[in-house]
Amino acid sequence: MKRAHNFYAGPSTLPLSVLKELQGEMVEYHNLGLSLLETSHRSPEYDEVHHGAMHLVKELLSLPDNYKVLFLQGGATMQFSMVPMNFLAEGSHADYLNSGAWAKKAIADARLYGSVEVTFDGKEKGYMSLPEPRSVVSTPGAQYVHITSNETIGGVQWKDFPATEAPLVADMSSDILSRPIPIERFGLIYAGAQKNLGPSGVTLVIVREDLLTKEQGKVGAYLKYSTHAESDSLYNTPPVFGIYALGKVLSWVKAQGGLPAVTANNRTKADLVYRAIESTDGFYHCPVDPSFRSDMNIVFTLRKGDLDKSFLDGSEERGMLGLKGHRSVGGFRASLYNAMPIEGAKALADYMVEFAQKNG
């Protein structure tokens, strides 16, 4: 098999070594006579995998002891509801920053549970920019402030984070573990795994313990963060395969040199592609404010839109998949998550320059 360069936004590329390890252990896990997928989630073998993965999240993100790591299901989308269900008490409100498509979804769901103050709306700039982080303050009485650290569709990323009085809640689905974060500024972070952490099916939640005491009463057991915090995410059957694979991806991140190494690689890859965009005299256009351009999802259009098909066909012929932009915005999007090798970004950048020279 010739492995393609995978630019899909999610589910997305995984380290080849992890896929091979999973393949090797799929039928039989560590001489057990069965696979881990057929093993009780209460077994000592699974327990080790489960707690090992939790430990690696804490280690790689340098989480202080007062943060809990939870493995849930339902994707980041379920967190759009779980956050307000738990923390938006009747008669109170939360601040939401509307940075684009994913923030909008979080806002729409939160409004079903309580009052939302949209304290920033990127509409005026076409959702292609963000506010200066230091200018973000929580409104009096806000239960929390919600941001989307990286807009996967718009390609807009917070480079630094607000330090708000109310707990900061972040949807980090598309840039978790891609760079260091000032964890002490956050009350809760959530992320679907299927971009930087592993396959889909598990959602990572990191929550500061003191927030658990602020949960509201009338929420079903599964939907309460404290249920999972108290049982180390073993209240019910967890997404065993997702957590098992996530642990392997985290071990891979650690072996790369942890966050410092991964951050440096991500910068190199993003630079390669942004430089290709900028070097072609307007042949390509990235609409995002340069101060907030995402290192994870790079969006661009061709000045001559009639060349879109030819650009895409050529990329596929060269083994580059998943470059078509999101259906709501068109153009192109290159997702460069942790597991995308530098050669993948280089192959794209070289192709872009070559295509521009031929067709410019």
Ligand X SMILES: Cc1ncc(COP(=O)(O)O)c(C=O)c1O
Q: Is 174 in the site for ligand X (CB under 6 A)?
A: yes
**Segment interacting with ligand X, rule: CB under 6 A, options 40-48, 167-175, 177-185, 211-219:** 167-175
Query: Do the Cβ atoms of 183 and 63 come closer than 8 Å?
Result: yes
Is residue 135 helix, strand or coil?
helix
Residue pointed to by tokens 């984070």: 161
Q: Is 296 in the site for ligand X (CB under 6 A)?
A: no
Closer by beta carbon to ligand X, 192 or else 238: 192
Min CB(28)–ligand X separation in Å: 30
Q: Is 98 in the site for ligand X (CB under 6 A)?
A: no
DSSP bridge pairs for 208: 67
Question: Residue 131 gets which letter from DSSP?
Answer: -
The 59-78 contact track toward ligand X, x by CB under 6 A, reads ----------------xxx-
Q: Which of 10, 114, 167, 238 binds ligand X (CB under 6 A)?
A: 10
Nearest to 103 by CA among 9, 162, 171: 171
Q: Has 171 been annotated as catalytic?
A: yes
Q: Has 195 been annotated as catalytic?
A: yes
Query: Do the Cβ atoms of 110 and 116 come closer than 8 Å?
Result: yes
104, 109, 175, 195: the catalytic one is 195
Min CB(172)–ligand X separation in Å: 8
Question: What is the rounded CA–CA span in Å between residue 334 and residue 256?
Answer: 22
The 108-147 contact track toward ligand X, x by CB under 6 A, reads ----------------------------------------
Name 322's Cβ contacts closer than 8 Å, sequence gap at least 6.
6, 7, 8, 9, 12, 335
End-to-end CA distance of the chain: 34
Name 266's Cβ contacts closer than 8 Å, sequence gap at least 6.
178, 179, 295, 296, 336, 338
Q: Is 13 in the site for ligand X (CB under 6 A)?
A: no
Q: Is 196 in the site for ligand X (CB under 6 A)?
A: no
Q: Which residues bind ligand X (CB under 6 A)?
A: 10, 75-77, 102, 148, 152, 171, 173-174, 192
